[in-house]
């Protein structure tokens, strides 16, 4: 006797992401020649880099080892896949977030910019 087994394909509907107000003072971005294109918001937990933000594809030689190690950890955990954030991720430091995004040592207070071009330092 043969038993017919039916497989059901479950199609998950992609959740619609509610994006923060990009005109507000808490919205910042980094766009660099090396391929980084990231969006972030400032909140009480630190700086949250948005899902689908992209990072530079490689590290500059002078990048400190702890930054490279953190980048590797984020990739190993699947937070960054193929140089793209797969989920929103909050960093406690804007400089660490900028370094991970840009693939080099960075001062986050100067690298993260608002829509009107002001730095995070300018807006503090």
Task: Give the single-character DSSP code of 4.
Answer: -
For the chain, what is the domain count? 1
**How much is the pTM?**
0.80
Domain presence at residue 12: no
The angle, 0 to 180 degrees and rounded to 10, between the axes of the packed helices 65-76 and 94-102 is 80
Domain presence at residue 124: no
C-alpha closest to that of 115 among 40, 50, 19: 40
Place of tokens 């980084």: 36
pLDDT score at 124 = 79
Residue 7 has pLDDT above 80, yes or no: no
pLDDT score at 10 = 45
Domain presence at residue 5: no
Q: Which domain holds residue 84?
A: 27-111
Write out the H or E segment, with its range, that includes residue 48. strand 46-49
**63 by DSSP, 3-state: which?**
coil
Residue 8 has pLDDT above 70, yes or no: no
Domain presence at residue 55: yes
């Amino acid at each position: 006797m043969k038993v017919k087994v039916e497989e059901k394909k479950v199609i998950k509907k992609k959740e619609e992401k509610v994006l923060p107000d990009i005109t507000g003072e808490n919205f910042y971005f980094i766009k660099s020649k090396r391929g980084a294109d990231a969006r972030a918001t400032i909140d009480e937990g630190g700086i949250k880099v948005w899902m689908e933000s992209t990072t530079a594809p490689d590290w500059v030689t002078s990048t400190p080892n702890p930054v490279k190690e953190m980048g590797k950890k984020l990739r190993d955990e699947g937070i960054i896949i193929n140089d793209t954030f797969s989920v929103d991720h909050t960093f406690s430091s804007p400089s660490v977030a900028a370094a991970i995004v840009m693939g080099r040592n960075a001062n986050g207070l100067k690298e993260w910019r608002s829509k009107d071009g002001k730095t995070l330092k300018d807006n503090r």
